[in-house]
Structure 1
Amino acid sequence: MIRFVFRMLSLVALALAVMAASLDAIQSVAASTPVLTPLAVAWSAVSPESIAFVADTLMNRVHPVLWDPATLWVLSQPAAIVLLVLALLLWMIGYKRRPFAGRFTA
């Protein structure tokens, strides 16, 4: 059951990555220069309350060190790349390896 949840989350992250890459491609063609939207800009455009909630939770309840260097660096990266990496990590967690000996072993 838990593998299914990780695979579905991976599918959602992959779909979001494709949408972010498509928007960046459309903007790049329109501007005639490469456009890569940072994750913070894309996230705050979709849901500014949730990014403020995550920032508040990390700074006040977890530890401020997690917000400053690590999270701000991730938020400054292109949204499509971050979502692709997240989809890959979630897929790897939910991956079921094939049996070593084969399908029809006892």
Structure 2
Amino acid sequence: MNLAGIKKSEGVKVNASKSYFLGFGWNIKDALDIALEEAGPDYDMLIDGVVRYASYPFVLQIKVEGTAVNSQKMIAQMGQEGFNQWISGHQVTTADTVKLIKE
């Protein structure tokens, strides 16, 4: 799939998880940060991402998978206006719009 000049094959597939004792302090951002760190310092955006959570006795686990891409590379190829149009034309998840699926 080509995302207006960005090939998903140029991204890095990532899987990450974060566990929380009794679920205290859980948040999705920690798992997303781990996934992007796993991809490397040049990657700052996750596409085709899936966030799941699992609950075990005394532990809550957040799992993230997707393709990490470099948004600056996208902007360089598409221009800032093209990038903004691409963002507005896709389903972009923010902390306010996350929906969780329990495993």
TM-score by length of 1: 0.32
Q: Which has the higher contact order (CA 8 A, sep 6+)?
A: 1
Structure ID, larger Rg = 1
Higher helix share: 1
Higher strand share: 2
